[in-house]
Structures are given as C-alpha cells and as structure tokens.
C-alpha cells in the first residue's frame, strides 16, 4: 500500500492523542509489534527489559516551543502571530497565549504553573514560556533517565545545547533543534555559514566527546571538561555550547511541579 493512502486529510499527525496542546505525536511513531518492539515504554521499564547499554540524550535551548529572546519582537509584531503547523509545539509569546495554554494543558494545576512562571506583560510571558519549555525539556529527559537507570547499570549522559550557530538565523532561531549536529561531527566546512574561531573550538570539543562515547561508552577524556553521568540523587545536566559543565536541571519547586504533572499523564 502506498504511504499516501495511510494519510487522512493530508495530516501526518495523530489527532486522537490528547497532549494538552496543538502538538500531536506523528503517525510514524514506533509500533509495538510484540517482536521487534515487544513492549511499550512503561511496560519495558516495569520489566527492566531495556537494553543494558550506555546512553546519551539531550535537548536544545531553542526548541520544543522555546525561541531565542532576540526573536520576541518579530513574533509579537501585529499580524505576525506565532502559529505553527499541527504537531508542532505552540510558541507562547503573549500574556494571553501563556494563560490560555496553561489552562488547557495543566487544568487544575494551571494556577500553580502561572505562579512558578509569573508574567504580567507580553515580554514577561515570552520569557516565562521559554523558562517553562526549557525546564520541561531538561526535567523530562532527567525523569526518563531516572526510569531507564532503574533497570540497567551502564551510565546515562544527558546534555543541554546552548550555542546558536552564526549567520542569518542566529537571532531568529538561536540554538534550534539539530543545530548541534555540525559541531558533533566537526564538519562545519560542509555548511555555508560564517564560522568563527569559537565555533571551531566548540566543534573540536563536541566531536571529541562523541568520538570518545562511540569508542568507550564514556564521553570523558583528557583535555575536556568532565561530563558526569546522570545521578538520580543529584538532578544536573551537562551544558554544551556557550559553556561546558554541569548545571541544575531546574529549581526544586519547578522540578517538583513537573514531576507531579508527568505522573498524572497516561503512560505510553
């Protein structure tokens, strides 16, 4: 059957899964077939059936609905709007956007969310949305690592990428999704951007981490800032990009809020 016949009304997202926002999971997500993928996430963790391998996972500063602060004005301009295609996270850069999104996504927890991420103007709302999205990214990855580590011994390494590549998209897109890839492979030459000496130093360091991890299961080595594995008792993540070193996953109250929110969601 051609793939086009699997698509209803031209959408590649699953509208039947409620996520609390316009973001929806893709139709092409993994299929639990009982053979190649025998269990879903929650069943796999409950059985301790995840593969016993070292793992590396991370998030970027300006993805999942967060945008660089230098893009606020353009997104808030009259008529600009911040709408994105179905399946993409909403970008809340006005006070009304932030409040409406909080009520829809968090329900009874909305007031607590708005207290943890306060805003009284569009500018503050855009900043609060960025803070919430970035906390969500780091916390959800930490909580995933916590579940993964309960069933296996090999370490998990998490990162938060913060460097915006140079060029025309620098102020508009920042450290966007996938922007770390040329640095990881140290192939800046393959992308036509006005790379600086700083970019080349970052690429050398990033590629060294990844090469070491591929060879040994540990990104650490001589001459590199130490990248600690995930410690379930110490919620930190390794910042990579503008700085290199471990940073807190989030403030304690915000971490507790997201833990409770995720605990209320339907397990996949």
Q: Are 128 and 119 in contact (CB under 8 A)?
A: yes
- Residue 83: the pLDDT is 53
Q: Is the pLDDT of residue 192 over 90?
A: yes
In a domain, 216, yes or no: yes
218 inside domain:
yes
Q: Is residue 139 part of a domain?
A: yes
Q: Mean pLDDT, to the nearest integer, of 220-236?
A: 95
- The pLDDT, as a whole number, for residue 90 is 80
- For residue 70, give the CATH number of its domain: 3.40.50.1820
243 in a structural domain: yes
pTM > 0.75:
yes
Residue 50 in domain: no
- Look at residue 82 in the predicted model and tell me its pLDDT: 55
pLDDT of residue 87: 66
Q: Is residue 158 domain-resident?
A: yes
Separation between Cα atoms, residue 39 and residue 48, nearest integer Å: 11
Q: Does residue 132 surpass a pLDDT of 70?
A: yes
Domain that holds residue 88: 56-263
123 versus 81: the higher-pLDDT residue is 123
32, with CB counted inside 10 A (0-12, 13-18, 19+), is middle
* pLDDT recorded at residue 84: 57
Tell me if 44 is assigned to some domain: no
pLDDT over 60 (residue 175): yes
Give the model confidence (pLDDT) of 133-170 as tens digits.
999 999 999 999 999 998 899 999 999 999 999 999 99
Q: How confident is the model at residue 67 (pLDDT cuts 50, 70, 90)?
A: very high
Q: For position 85, what pLDDT does the model report?
A: 60
Q: What is the mean pLDDT of residues 107-121?
A: 97
Q: What is the 3-state secondary structure (H, E, C) of the chain?
A: CCHHHHCECCECECCCCCCCCCCCCECCCCCCCCCCCCCCHHHHHHHCCCCCCCEEEEEECCCCCCCCHHHHHHHHCCCCCCCCCCCCCCCCCCHHHHHHHHHHHHHHHHHHHHHHCCCCCHHHHHHHHHHHHHHHHHHHHHHHHHHHHCCCCCCEEEEEECCCCCCCCHHHHCCCCCCCHHHHCCCHHHCCCCCCHHHHHHHHHHHHHHHHHHHHCCCCCCCCCCCCCCECCECEEEEECCCCEEEECCCHHHHHHHHHHHHCCCCC
Q: Cα-atom radius of gyration of the chain, to the nearest Å?
A: 20
Position 10 scores a pLDDT of: 66
Number of domains in the chain: 1
Rounded to whole angstroms, how far apart are CA atoms 256 and 147?
Answer: 16
Query: Per the domain annotation, does 42 fall within a domain?
Result: no
């Amino acid at each position: 059957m051609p793939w086009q016949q699997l698509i209803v009304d031209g959408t590649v997202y699953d509208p039947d899964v409620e996520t609390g926002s316009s973001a929806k999971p893709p139709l092409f997500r993994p299929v639990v077939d009982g053979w190649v993928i025998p269990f879903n996430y929650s069943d796999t963790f409950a059985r301790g059936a995840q593969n016993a391998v070292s793992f590396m996972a991370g998030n970027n500063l300006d993805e999942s609905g967060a945008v660089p602060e230098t893009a606020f004005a353009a997104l808030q301009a009259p008529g600009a709007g911040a709408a994105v295609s179905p399946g993409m996270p909403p970008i809340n850069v006005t006070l009304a956007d932030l409040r409406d999104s909080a009520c829809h996504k968090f329900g009874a927890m909305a007031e607590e969310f708005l207290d943890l991420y306060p805003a009284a103007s569009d500018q503050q709302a855009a900043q609060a949305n960025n803070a919430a999205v970035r906390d969500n990214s780091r916390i959800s990855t930490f909580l995933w690592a916590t579940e993964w580590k309960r069933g296996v011994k090999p370490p998990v390494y998490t990162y938060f990428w913060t460097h915006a590549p140079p060029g025309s998209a620098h102020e508009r897109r920042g450290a966007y999704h996938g922007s770390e890839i040329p640095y990881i492979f140290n192939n800046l030459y393959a992308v036509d951007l006005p790379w600086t000496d700083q970019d080349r130093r970052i690429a050398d360091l990033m590629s060294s981490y990844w090469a070491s991890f591929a060879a040994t299961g540990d990104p650490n080595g001589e001459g590199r800032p130490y990248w600690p594995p995930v410690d379930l008792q110490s919620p930190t993540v390794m910042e990579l990009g503008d700085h290199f070193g471990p940073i807190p996953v989030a403030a304690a109250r915000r971490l507790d809020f997201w833990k409770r929110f995720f605990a209320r969601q339907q397990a996949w």
